[in-house]
Amino acid sequence: MAGIERVTGPTLDVLEALLRAHQQNEELHGWAIIKATKRNGPTVYRALDRLHEAGWIERRWEELEPDNPGPRRRYYSLTGEGIPAARALLTQRRPAALTPRPTLGFAPLTWLLGLLAGGTR
């Protein structure tokens, strides 16, 4: 695996988004990465190209059904080699990126409903 010659803020943002997606067992398409990083398209795609050239990510085109016209999405995910490399780089350059973030969803609501019903923590 080749290293990344130039590590920029946008590259770290993209790696952070891809690592979080990996932890949730998901792939991200380009638009989702743009939204997650709050960076513009050309900046994100340049970072994705560098990461792909380094062997840290893989990309694949969405397979559409014949009755589902429209543009295909390109999905990105970390490779087996890219996962530890991304973790190491983020640990070095952006340690806060690896701290778990609270997941919003039904768990807080369930907890609140339990409290309202007279339960405890």
The stretch 21-30 carries a mean pLDDT of 94
pTM: 0.77
Continuous segment of H or E residues that includes residue 108: helix 106-116
Strand partners, 57: 78
Please report, to the nearest 10 degrees, the dihedral formed by the alpha carbons of residues 24, 76, 28, 36 taken in order.
Answer: 100
Continuous segment of H or E residues that includes residue 28: strand 28-29
Quote the pLDDT of residue 105. Answer: 53
Quote the pLDDT of residue 97. Answer: 79
What CATH number matches the domain at 9-116, 3.40.50.2300, 3.40.50.1100, 1.10.10.10, 3.40.50.300? 1.10.10.10
Please state the φ and ψ torsions of residue 62, each to the nearest 5 degrees. Answer: -65, 140
Looking at the predicted structure, is the pLDDT value of residue 90 above 90? yes
The stretch 60-67 carries a mean pLDDT of 89
Domain limits, the chain: 9-116
Quote the pLDDT of residue 1. Answer: 44
Cα separation, 98 vs 43, in Å, equals 23
